[in-house]
Amino acid sequence: MSSITSIQPFRKIVAPWLVPIAILAIWQLAAQTGWLSSRVMPAPSAVLLAAWKMTLSGEIFYHIKISFLRAASGFVVGGGAGLLLGLLNGISRKAETLLDTTLQMIRNIPPLATIPLVILWFGIDEAAKLFLVSFGVFFPLYINTFHGIRSVDPGLLEMARSYGLKGWPLYRDVILPGAMPSILVGVRFGLGFMWVLLIVAEHVSSSSGIGYMTMNAREFLQTDIVVLGILLYAALGKLADFAARLLERWWLRWNPAYQPQ
């Protein structure tokens, strides 16, 4: 009888997983009986098997590493530039007058629309992928950093100045922490764009990376590896978002809205 209380949370933990497990089971069954052609969709077990084989051969890590490095370098270059320009324009009215209109015009260009030009400029090498990812990550960080700095509480700025803070201490203690919630929103948006652009860039052409892996598998109708590639992108995206959440938890731990329940 006392077990009633312990059943309650158990149900809550299990119940949300019932539907996904059922779908997987039906899917597996449909694939095994031949009702679902493996050309359309491989069985879940086949995807697992493919993952296991590629793990043993080490191939999977190679592709993940390449894709991760491309994403990370694009994020650092584009995000870094966005952050710096956002800081500059947020702090200096002169810089804003000079640069902001130009940046807002460029912002209206969808990054993917530039692919033909990018191929003409950079060929189909790493430079093209770096450019596309950086382009996509730049604007979320630029806009949110700019907005974050402009929305720092003027009362706090006045207080800090009256306590003799200026120059770097003023940025370190007041302006940057004040803009941080907004900057981190930009980081999370940027991470989302980063994966989308990376996937497109890797599918345009590449000789390594997760995109290459799936494109190659498609040629040979290896749907199990195609699905594995899709799942890898999803996992990497989730991981990046998780990392951004950890950053929020740490940097915004002073904010009641970000404290763990």
Partner 1 sequence: MGSNVVNFKTGENSEQENNAVTGTALHYRNISKQFGSNPVLQNLDLDIAAGEFVAIVGRSGCGKSTLLRLTAALEQASSGEITHHVANSGSSGDTRFMFQDARLLPWKTVLENIGLGLRGQWRDTAKQVLQHVGLLDKADVWPATLSGGQRQRVALARALVHHPDLLLLDEPLGALDALTRIEMQQLIEDLWRENGFTAILVTHDVPEAIALADRILLIEDGKIGLDLPVQLPRPRQRGTAAFAQLEATVLQRVLKTPSQENIPEIPTPKNITQLKWAW
Distance CA 102, CA 49 (A): 51
Site string for partner 1, 34-73 (x = CB under 8 A): ----------------------------------------
- The alpha carbon of 41 is separated from its chain's Cα centroid by a whole number of angstroms, namely 27
Instruction: Please pick, from the candidates 55, 57, 104, 255, the single residue that binds partner 1 as defined by CB under 8 A.
Output: 255
Q: In angstroms, give the least distance from the CB of 176 to partner 1.
A: 9
Reference 80, options 122, 121, 133, 148; nearest CA is: 133
Q: What is residue 79's DSSP assignment? A: I
Site string for partner 1, 82-101 (x = CB under 8 A): ---------x-x--------
Is residue 165 helix, strand or coil?
coil
Instruction: Please pick, from the candidates 174, 194, 201, 210, the single residue that binds partner 1 as defined by CB under 8 A.
Output: 174
Nearer to partner 1, 160 or 225 (CB): 160
Among the residue ranges 39-47, 72-80, 226-234, 248-256, the one whose residues contact partner 1 (CB under 8 A): 248-256
Q: Which amino acid is at 147?
A: H
Instruction: Please pick, from the candidates 115, 156, 196, 230, the single residue that binds partner 1 as defined by CB under 8 A.
Output: 156
Nearer to partner 1, 94 or 245 (CB): 94
> What contacts 203, CB < 8 A, 6 or more positions away?
211, 214, 215
Q: In angstroms, give the least distance from the CB of 181 to partner 1.
A: 10
The footprint of partner 1 on residues 96-155 (CB under 8 A) is: 154-155
Reference 258, options 173, 195, 180, 159; nearest CA is: 180
Is residue 177 at the binding interface for partner 1, with CB under 8 A as the rule?
yes
Among the residue ranges 23-31, 77-85, 162-170, 191-199, the one whose residues contact partner 1 (CB under 8 A): 162-170
Rg of the chain taking only CA atoms, in angstroms: 24
Nearer to partner 1, 42 or 90 (CB): 90
> What contacts 194, CB < 8 A, 6 or more positions away?
71, 74, 75, 133, 136, 137, 240
46: number of Cβ within 10 Å: 20
Is residue 167 at the binding interface for partner 1, with CB under 8 A as the rule?
no
* Triad 87, 93, 95: Cα angle to 5°: 65
Q: In angstroms, give the least distance from the CB of 149 to partner 1.
A: 10
Distance CA 196, CA 84 (A): 23
Q: Phi/psi of residue 168, each to 5°?
A: -60, -45
Instruction: Please pick, from the candidates 31, 180, 210, 244, the single residue that binds partner 1 as defined by CB under 8 A.
Output: 180
Instruction: Please pick, from the candidates 51, 157, 200, 247, the single residue that binds partner 1 as defined by CB under 8 A.
Output: 157
* Residues of the shown chain interacting with partner 1 in the complex, contacts defined by CB under 8 A: 91, 93, 154-165, 169, 173-174, 177-178, 180, 252-256
